[in-house]
Amino acid sequence: MSQTLAKEVEPFGIRVLIIQPGAFPTKFNHTGNLHLTEKPMTESYRNTGVGEIVGHFSGAPLNSTPVNDLEKGCQAIFEVITGIKRGSGMEKYLRFPLSADAALRTRQQIARLQEGHDVFEDIWQSTGNDNYPKNGSS
């Protein structure tokens, strides 16, 4: 939705920025601020990513020592949004991985997308209209 919104509002000089934060300490990280259902997790979710995340919330706080520094993260967001210091010249970019753990997940997603692109290339290459000029002219 954010990608579509960015294209729709760009002609009006409005910028959309998708911030991918990674693991930062927040009040959400502590179970006292999150109320889970009393119903136990079903077995089908137990060994999945969803099960892992829910499992974190059912015990102690997620991290006793946070992976990332909240103040540094806020400063980085401020610089990118305002276009100052390290954020200068980054106005044209849509996605902002805010931490090393977020960047790693983004790179893993890019690799999965590239693999799918490559695996299906023979198929997607074969779907063109034979009557449409190959050089893109009409």
Q: Where are the domains of the chain?
A: 1-25+68-116, 29-62
Distance CA 28, CA 19 (A): 18
pLDDT tens digit at each of 138 positions of the chain: 999 999 999 999 999 999 999 888 876 655 555 566 667 778 887 788 777 777 666 654 444 566 899 999 999 999 999 999 999 999 999 999 999 999 999 999 999 999 999 999 999 999 999 888 876 555
pLDDT at residue 35, as a whole number? 64
pTM of the model: 0.67
Question: At residue 50, what are phi and psi to the nearest 5 degrees?
Answer: -60, -45
pLDDT value of position 119: 97
Spatial contact of 88 and 7, defined as CB atoms under 8 Å apart: no
